[in-house]
Amino acid sequence: MLYREALNKALDEMMEKDETVVILGEDVGFYGGNYRVTEGLYAKYGEKRAIDTPIAENSIVGNAIGMAIGGLRPVAEIMTVNFILIAMDQIVNQMAKLRYMSGGKIELPMVVRTPQGVSKQLAAQHSQSLERFFTSTPGLITMVASDATAAYYGLKYAIELDDPVIFLEHELLYPMKMEIQERKDFNPFKADVVKEGKDITVVSYLKMLHDTLQAVPVV
């Protein structure tokens, strides 16, 4: 299965299981997503659950926050992480803080998913990796999907959480074909050992995980 198909499968299964799960973002509905991650969901669930938004990232995240407060489980897509900078006020000062500032009375079961990293024929303003911003923000859970298994199980895990999650993907992984391992005990907060060795430990994630595996000689 392609990496993007694993993400699509996770969204589909969660939307089928729980009618409070909705998706919103630029072109996520009728068009099926700029990277085809949300393909087919508009036709299956309709415009009230697969919501096309204006090109307004601050509004996308702000609306998702309101949806989460109101009892929905929104999954907001930002077309690339570079555009998420426009929504940083909503993410850092609202999304990350509301549960703490309300003494736990407000729950924010929401996910903001977005691709990042260097891709093909994109300018510097479209090629950034900004995970350090999110991991240093108290109140946010940051998750990355380094392969199809993490994409499928990780996104489902994130949607079921009652806390806000930033879910990061990589643009160059979308067309890659990968095997999904059955992982009923999947824990996104525990690192996987993908290759055993005896000399050094290499820690990586997202596309660099695959680049590293190519560079490490077979023993």
Specify if 181 maps to a domain: yes
Instruction: Residue 17: give its domain's CATH number.
Output: 3.40.50.970
Catalytic center residues? 57, 126
Specify if 161 maps to a domain: yes
Specify if 205 maps to a domain: no
Read off the pLDDT of residues 123-136 as tens digits, 9 standing for 90 and up.
Answer: 888 899 999 999 99
Residue 97, pLDDT above cutoff 90: yes
Query: What per-residue confidence (pLDDT) applies to 154?
Result: 97
Rounded CA separation 204/115 (Å): 17
* Average pLDDT over every residue of 111-128: 89
Concatenating the DSSP letter of every residue in 174-196 gives TT-B-PPPP-TT--TTS----S-
Q: What residue type is 147 in one-letter code?
A: D
* Average pLDDT over every residue of 99-118: 95
**What pTM value is reported for the model?**
0.94
Query: What per-residue confidence (pLDDT) applies to 218?
Result: 59
Rounded CA separation 200/198 (Å): 6
Query: What per-residue confidence (pLDDT) applies to 184?
Result: 83
Read off the pLDDT of residues 8-59 as tens digits, 9 standing for 90 and up.
Answer: 999 999 999 999 999 999 999 999 999 999 999 999 999 999 999 999 999 9
Domain count, the chain: 1
Specify if 199 maps to a domain: no
Rounded CA separation 29/50 (Å): 5
Print the domain residue range for 44: 3-190
Specify if 59 maps to a domain: yes
Query: What per-residue confidence (pLDDT) applies to 123?
Result: 84
Contact 194, 203 (CB under 8 A): no
Rounded CA separation 185/173 (Å): 24
Specify if 119 maps to a domain: yes
- Phi and psi at 93, nearest 5°, equal -95, -15
Residue 62, pLDDT above cutoff 90: yes
Residue 219, pLDDT above cutoff 60: no
Q: Which of the four pLDDT bands, split at 50, 70 and 90, describes residue 122?
A: confident
The sign one gets for the Cα dihedral 51, 96, 144, 70 is negative
E strand map for the chain: 21-25, 50-52, 73-77, 111-116, 141-144, 165-170
- Phi and psi at 92, nearest 5°, equal -80, -40
Pull the structure tokens for residue 198. 């005896």
Q: How many Å separate Cα 105 from the centre of its chain?
A: 25
pLDDT-wise least confident of 3-12, 113-122, 136-145 = 113-122
Specify if 38 maps to a domain: yes
Angle between helices 148-160 and 3-17 (to 10 degrees): 30
Read off the pLDDT of residues 150-206 as tens digits, 9 standing for 90 and up.
Answer: 999 999 999 999 999 999 999 999 999 999 989 888 999 998 888 888 888 999 999
Rounded CA separation 167/84 (Å): 12
Contact 108, 63 (CB under 8 A): no
Specify if 219 maps to a domain: no
